[in-house]
Amino acid sequence: MLRSTKDMQEFSIGATDGRIGEIRDFYFDDRAWVVRYLVVDTGTWLSSRLVLISPIALGRPSWVDKTLPVALTQAQVKDSPDIDTRRPVSRQQEVELMGHYGYPSYWGGMGLWGGGMVPYAMLPGDAGLGSEDAVRSSAAADAAQAEAGRQSDDNPHLRSCSEVTGYTLGARDGEIGQVQGFLVDEDTWALRYLVVSTSKWWLGHDVLIAPQWTQGVNWAEKTVSVDMTRQAVKDAPHYDPTMPLSRQHEMAVYKHHGGRGYWEDEGRGKAAFP
């Protein structure tokens, strides 16, 4: 199921022993286009401290209650490394954070999450939400500690969804839209589409642009470029954000742009990297 990151903001995050806070943003990997962390405002119980929660810890969201359960305690969150979310997150900070929770590194392997496609398969086996593919927390912590020294200066390419929202979409022959948000796969936490509004250029409607169709993001100029014409974007199937996105609509979008659906690669057991 694909969900809007905009709709998920303000969701409440619940630990095993109480409430943690509300989602304020999402950090995604700009190479794999996968959400790596939820930025959570803890509110008064931690003096409105912003903390990073990995999808590895997440359970199934409740859209009725607007809550996301996590396999963490409040004490674990309180004692987690204090990371300034106003500045770029370094790989060393990630290693420290993953080590604190006993998680293995997601950046090893050919899948979206290590060697697999779903984050919860990386959950420590004794955390209550693990699977047969899960790893033990002690081994993960040891690996994370050993890796900290080797990757202290590595750039993890983490970007804010809130930051990219509002960026201009540029086609081969000029500007054509503005990024309104993202659709995320609630199983893999991959960003499947940028939701783009063309209302300033045409008689407004929204369209979907898959990350693999982008040529790059210019962070200084706040633009996303695509290797297609303005007309191709204009003629793409209209997206209605008030309606659930069907696979039929997705197939129509991919057919229009001449691409193969991400679900086809995943069905063949391949990693769905853009």
Q: Are residues 184 and 155 in the same domain?
A: no
Please give the torsion angle defined by the CA atoms of residues 80, 83, 85 and 89, in that order, rounded to the nearest 10 degrees: -110
Q: Are residues 27 and 142 in the same domain?
A: yes
Q: Rounded to a whole number, what is the distance in angstroms from the first to the last CA of the chain?
A: 19
Q: Are residues 232 and 181 in the same domain?
A: yes
pLDDT at 202: 78
Reported as type and span, the H/E element at residue 149 is helix 137-150
pLDDT at 181: 96
pLDDT at 126: 45
pLDDT at 266: 65
Domain for residue 32, yes or no?
yes
Domain for residue 93, yes or no?
yes
The last residue of one of the domains, among 108, 131, 159, is 159
Q: Are residues 127 and 227 in the same domain?
A: no
pLDDT at 251: 97
Q: How many domains are there within the chain?
A: 2
Domain for residue 274, yes or no?
no
pLDDT at 61: 87
The last residue of one of the domains, among 104, 134, 159, is 159
Q: Whole-angstrom Cα distance, residue 167 to residue 33?
A: 16
Q: Are residues 171 and 151 in the same domain?
A: no
| DSSP structure string for 47-99 | TT-EEEE-GGGB---BTTTTEEEBS--HHHHHTS----TTSPPPHHHHHHHHH
Q: Whole-angstrom Cα distance, residue 110 to residue 240?
A: 34
Both tokens of 88, joined, read: 């770029």
pLDDT at 53: 97
**Is 219 within 8 Å of 194 (Cβ atoms)?**
no
Domain for residue 148, yes or no?
yes
**Is 233 within 8 Å of 224 (Cβ atoms)?**
no
Domain range for 101: 2-159
Q: Are residues 45 and 120 in the same domain?
A: yes
Q: Whole-angstrom Cα distance, residue 143 to residue 97?
A: 12
Q: Phi first, then psi: give them for residue 34, nearest 5 degrees.
A: -130, 135
Kindly report the CATH number assigned to the domain that includes residue 108.
3.90.50.10
Q: Which of 72, 49, 23, 30 is nearest to 212 (CA)?
A: 30
What letter does residue 123 receive in the DSSP assignment? S
Q: Are residues 68 and 97 in the same domain?
A: yes
Kindly report the CATH number assigned to the domain that includes residue 242.
2.30.30.240
Q: Whole-angstrom Cα distance, residue 241 to residue 256?
A: 19
Q: Whole-angstrom Cα distance, residue 21 to residue 53?
A: 11
List the chain pLDDT tens, one digit each, 274 residues. 899 999 998 899 999 999 999 999 999 999 899 999 999 999 989 988 999 999 999 998 888 899 999 999 999 999 999 998 888 899 999 999 999 999 999 987 889 999 899 999 888 764 444 333 333 344 444 454 454 445 545 566 899 999 999 999 999 999 999 999 999 999 999 999 999 999 988 777 999 999 999 998 999 999 999 999 999 999 999 999 999 999 999 999 999 999 889 998 765 544 443 3
Q: Which of 262, 267, 242, 241 is nearest to 251 (CA)?
A: 262
The last residue of one of the domains, among 143, 159, 175, is 159
Q: Give the angle subtended at the CA of 133 by the CAs of 60 and 159, to the nearest 5°.
A: 55
Q: Are residues 206 and 223 in the same domain?
A: yes
